[in-house]
C-alpha cells in the first residue's frame, strides 16, 4: 500500500488545487447513457428524483439501491499488482454529439472499418460512445477531479467495459479535446457531427485501476468492467469551464465497496 499511496499522491495531488480553483467540492452516470425513452422513469442528480431515490423510481431501477457492486467508488483502496496489458486500438472517427439532458454524449459512427476498440484479457470491446461528469464520479482518498470522461465499450456478447479518464487544469487548450469541448453547448434534441482524434484524447500512460462495478446512472446494471486511467489529461481552464457550464454536478455519489477487489497496475520495465 505504501507504493500505491506514494505513486498516486504524485499524480493526484494537483487535483486538490484544481478542484478548489473551479469551485468543486467533495460531495456526491455511466454507460451507455442513452436518452430516456417516453416509457422510462425520469431521474435527476438532485431533489426528489436524485441518486438517493433512483432505486425507488421504477422497478427496472431497483439495482440502484439493492446492488452490491455499484459504481463509482473511491479508488484509494487499490492494491498495486501486475495486470495483463490493456490493448487500445483507437482510430480517429466521426461522431454524433447530443445533449441527452444528463451529459453531452459523443456516439461513434457504426462503420466497422473505422471502429475503435480495446482488448482486455483476450476479449475485444468496440468503442460505442463517450460522455462526461463534472466533477468526477470516482475519487482517490476522497479527492475529486474537475471532470471525468467515460469511454464506453461493448463486446460481442454484450459485456461492457468503461475507460475512465480524469481531466485536470493545464496551461493551454488540449488540441485533441477541442473538437469535443466546442460541441458542449449543443442544445437538447439537437445533434452535431464532428470528428474526434480518439487516440490523442487518452493519456500517454495506459496504466489503469480496475474493478468490477456498474452503470453509474439508472438502471445501475452491474457486471461493468471499469478501467480508470492512472494518469489524468490536462486541458485548459476554458475547456474545463465548458464542461461545468454544460452540466455541473452531474455525478453520482461514491458507493460502498462491499469487499470488492480494486487493483492498480504497476509500471513494467
What domains appear along the chain, each with residue ranges and CATH number?
2-30+50-265 (3.10.200.10)
Is residue 138 within 8 A of residue 168, CB to CB? The reply is: no
pTM, whole model, 2 decimals?
0.87
138: closest CA among 229, 75, 52, 79? 75
User: Digits of tens for pLDDT over the chain (269 positions)?
Assistant: 322 343 443 344 444 333 333 333 222 343 444 434 446 799 999 999 999 999 999 999 999 999 999 999 999 999 999 999 999 999 999 999 999 999 999 999 876 556 899 999 999 999 999 999 999 999 999 999 999 999 999 999 999 999 999 999 999 999 999 999 999 999 888 899 999 999 999 998 889 999 999 999 999 999 999 999 999 999 999 999 999 999 999 999 999 999 999 999 986 43
Catalytic residue list contains 150? no
What is the predicted pLDDT for the residue at 196? Answer: 96
From the candidates 102, 131, 138, 251, give the one annotated as an active-site residue. Answer: 102
Cα separation, 202 vs 163, in Å, equals: 10
Cα separation, 60 vs 220, in Å, equals: 9
What is the predicted pLDDT for the residue at 40? Answer: 78
State residue 211 phi and psi, 5-degree precision.
-165, 165
Amino acid at each position: 500500500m505504501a507504493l500505491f499511496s506514494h505513486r498516486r499522491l504524485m499524480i493526484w495531488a494537483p487535483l486538490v488545487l484544481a478542484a478548489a480553483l473551479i469551485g468543486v467540492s467533495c460531495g456526491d452516470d455511466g454507460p451507455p447513457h442513452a436518452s430516456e425513452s417516453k416509457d422510462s422513469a425520469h431521474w435527476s442528480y438532485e431533489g426528489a428524483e436524485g441518486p438517493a431515490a433512483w432505486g425507488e423510481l421504477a422497478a427496472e431501477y431497483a439495482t440502484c439501491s439493492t446492488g452490491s457492486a455499484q459504481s463509482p467508488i473511491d479508488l484509494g483502496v487499490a492494491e498495486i499488482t501486475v495486470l495483463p496489458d490493456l490493448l487500445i486500438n483507437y482510430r480517429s472517427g466521426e461522431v454524433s454529439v447530443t445533449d441527452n439532458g444528463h451529459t453531452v454524449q459523443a456516439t461513434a459512427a457504426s462503420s466497422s472499418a473505422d471502429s475503435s476498440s480495446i482488448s482486455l484479457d483476450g476479449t475485444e470491446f468496440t468503442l460505442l460512445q463517450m460522455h462526461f461528469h463534472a466533477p468526477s464520479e470516482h475519487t482517490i482518498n476522497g479527492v475529486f477531479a474537475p471532470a471525468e470522461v467515460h469511454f464506453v465499450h461493448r463486446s460481442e456478447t454484450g459485456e461492457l467495459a468503461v475507460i475512465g479518464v480524469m481531466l485536470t487544469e493545464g496551461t493551454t487548450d488540449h488540441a485533441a479535446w477541442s473538437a469535443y469541448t466546442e460541441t458542449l453547448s449543443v442544445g437538447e434534441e439537437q445533434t452535431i457531427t464532428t470528428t474526434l482524434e480518439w487516440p490523442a484524447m487518452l493519456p500517454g500512460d495506459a496504466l489503469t485501476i480496475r474493478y468490477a462495478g456498474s452503470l453509474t446512472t439508472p438502471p445501475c446494471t452491474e457486471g461493468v468492467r471499469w478501467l480508470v486511467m492512472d494518469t489524468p489529461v490536462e486541458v485548459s481552464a476554458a475547456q474545463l469551464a465548458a464542461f461545468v457550464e454544460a452540466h455541473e454536478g452531474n455525478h453520482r455519489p461514491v458507493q460502498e465497496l462491499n469487499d470488492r477487489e480494486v487493483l492498480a497496475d504497476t509500471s513494467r520495465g
